[in-house]
């Protein structure tokens, strides 16, 4: 399958490579679009984070105050820590839930295999907003979880499950699970079943085979799935906005606040830069761990 060959990243096949000239005609339009609407805005964002702004207009004053401001308020420091904890928990949960499912989907001989894979990926077709709404129905004070627990006589008063950091973690883990399943499936698919059979025929127990053979060999997929879920979770807006509240600010909701309510765009830019640095560090770690996708 092509995804193992580094489609964009690697060199083109020798035979088809017809010239070393820059194919201007082919790349001109997309390159201009990307430079103008992707590179430029991000460069501007980076510079805006070092400039004082007033009423959504930049001044000429170069300053580090925007960053200093963020690191001097416990509100934002707590938002950083919360974002980090949420990312970590979501990554862990998704790997723990995703691994058995991925293993099952790769190895099952069920005739429903195709349908089961489709069902595992179908949630990606729904917006995160829609999927988080399902968790609102379950977790709110008058929701399914409370009705159920009351009905079973396990609780006497309704419990406010949300807004809370826990609700955000569950919602995001749910939203991002298909990504980890896909990534782990990718690494399991390349593994020969005979490796496991060989280990067991040599007397290794199932547990030992799993710990000493399967787990190390599928580690790139596990690391990849973890980091992918982690990095998407830290920049997610919708789920923390729906299942959280003012007391559970995360970086994304704080950026939105600065951009639309507090209207301090320079601090918003600084916060966005910090988020990018975190996401990039994670992407770099993923690449170093060998979890990079072929076509990525």
Task: Give least dist CB 172 to other proteins, A.
Answer: 10
Q: Restricting to residues 185-214, which ones interact with other proteins according to CB under 8 A?
A: 186, 206
| Among the listed residues 79, 90, 138, 199, the single contact to other proteins using CB under 8 A | 138
Question: In this complex, which beta carbon is closest to other proteins, that of residue 39 or of residue 64?
Answer: 39
Rg (CA), the chain: 23
Q: DSSP secondary structure string, 6-37?
A: -TTTSPPPGGG---SS--HHHHHHHHHHHIII
Determine, following the binding rule CB under 8 A, whether residue 122 of this chain makes contact with other proteins.
Answer: yes
Determine, following the binding rule CB under 8 A, whether residue 288 of this chain makes contact with other proteins.
Answer: no
Task: Give least dist CB 110 to other proteins, A.
Answer: 10
| Among the listed residues 217, 283, 285, 289, the single contact to other proteins using CB under 8 A | 283
Q: Assess contact for 102 and 177: CB atoms under 8 A.
A: no
Task: Give least dist CB 270 to other proteins, A.
Answer: 11
Determine, following the binding rule CB under 8 A, whether residue 124 of this chain makes contact with other proteins.
Answer: yes
| Among the listed residues 70, 82, 86, 103, the single contact to other proteins using CB under 8 A | 103
Question: Which of 101, 135, 136, 97 lies closest to 116 in space, CA to CA?
Answer: 101
Number of residues this chain uses to bind other proteins (CB under 8 A): 107
Task: Give least dist CB 57 to other proteins, A.
Answer: 7
How many degrees, rounded to 5, is the angle at CA 168 between CA 172 and CA 176?
0
Q: Assess contact for 208 and 101: CB atoms under 8 A.
A: no
Task: Give least dist CB 258 to other proteins, A.
Answer: 9
Question: In this complex, which beta carbon is closest to other proteins, that of residue 30 or of residue 74?
Answer: 30
For residue 163, whether the previous peptide bond is cis, meaning omega lies within 30 degrees of 0, is: yes
Question: Which of 172, 280, 283, 175 lies closest to 223 in space, CA to CA?
Answer: 283
Interface map 140-179 toward other proteins (x if CB under 8 A): x-xxx--x--------------------------xxxxxx
Task: Give least dist CB 202 to other proteins, A.
Answer: 18
Q: Restricting to residues 20-79, which ones interact with other proteins according to CB under 8 A?
A: 20-23, 25-27, 29-31, 33-35, 37-42, 44-45, 48, 56-58
Distance CA 268, CA 248 (A): 18
Q: Restricting to residues 224-253, which ones interact with other proteins according to CB under 8 A?
A: 228, 231-232, 234-238, 241-242, 252
Distance CA 13, CA 23 (A): 16
**Partners of 54 in the β-ladder:** 57
Q: Which stretch binds other proteins (CB under 8 A): 60-68, 78-86, 122-130, 213-221?
A: 122-130
Question: In this complex, which beta carbon is closest to other proteins, that of residue 27 or of residue 68?
Answer: 27
Task: Give least dist CB 262 to other proteins, A.
Answer: 13
Distance CA 254, CA 256 (A): 5
Count other Cβ atoms within 10 Å, centred on residue 157.
7
Q: Assess contact for 7 and 294: CB atoms under 8 A.
A: yes
| Among the listed residues 52, 78, 131, 158, the single contact to other proteins using CB under 8 A | 131
Task: Give least dist CB 31 to other proteins, A.
Answer: 7
Task: Give the list of residues 6+ apart from residue 114 with CB closer than 8 angstroms, or none.
Answer: none
Q: Is 228 helix (H, G, I), strand (E, B) or coil?
A: helix
């Amino acid at each position: 399958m092509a995804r193992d060959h580094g489609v964009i990243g690697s060199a083109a096949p020798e035979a088809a490579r017809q010239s070393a000239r820059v194919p201007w005609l082919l790349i001109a339009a997309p390159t201009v679009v990307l430079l103008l609407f992707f590179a430029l805005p991000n460069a501007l964002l980076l510079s805006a984070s070092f400039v004082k702004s007033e009423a959504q207009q930049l001044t000429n004053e170069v300053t580090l105050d925007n960053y200093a401001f963020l690191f001097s308020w416990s509100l934002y420091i707590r938002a950083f820590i919360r974002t980090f904890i949420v990312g970590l928990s979501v990554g862990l949960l998704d790997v723990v839930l995703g691994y058995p499912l991925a293993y099952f989907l790769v190895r099952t001989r069920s005739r429903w295999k195709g349908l089961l894979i489709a069902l595992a990926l179908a949630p990606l077709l729904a917006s995160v907003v829609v999927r988080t709404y399902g968790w609102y129905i379950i977790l709110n004070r008058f929701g399914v979880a409370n009705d159920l627990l009351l009905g079973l006589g396990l609780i006497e008063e309704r419990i406010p499950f949300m807004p809370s950091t826990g609700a955000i973690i569950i919602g995001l883990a749910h939203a991002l699970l298909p990504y980890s399943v896909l990534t782990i499936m990718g690494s399991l698919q390349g593994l020969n079943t005979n490796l496991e059979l060989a280990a067991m025929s040599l007397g290794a127990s199932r547990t030992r085979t799993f710990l000493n053979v399967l787990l190390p060999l599928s580690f790139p997929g596990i690391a990849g799935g973890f980091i992918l879920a982690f990095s998407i979770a830290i920049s997610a807006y919708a789920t923390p906005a729906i299942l959280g509240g003012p007391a559970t600010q995360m970086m994304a909701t704080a950026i939105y606040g600065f951009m639309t309510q507090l209207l301090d765009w320079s601090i918003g830019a600084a916060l966005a830069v910090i988020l990018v640095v975190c996401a990039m560090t994670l992407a770099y770690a993923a690449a170093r761990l060998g979890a990079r996708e072929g076509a990525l």
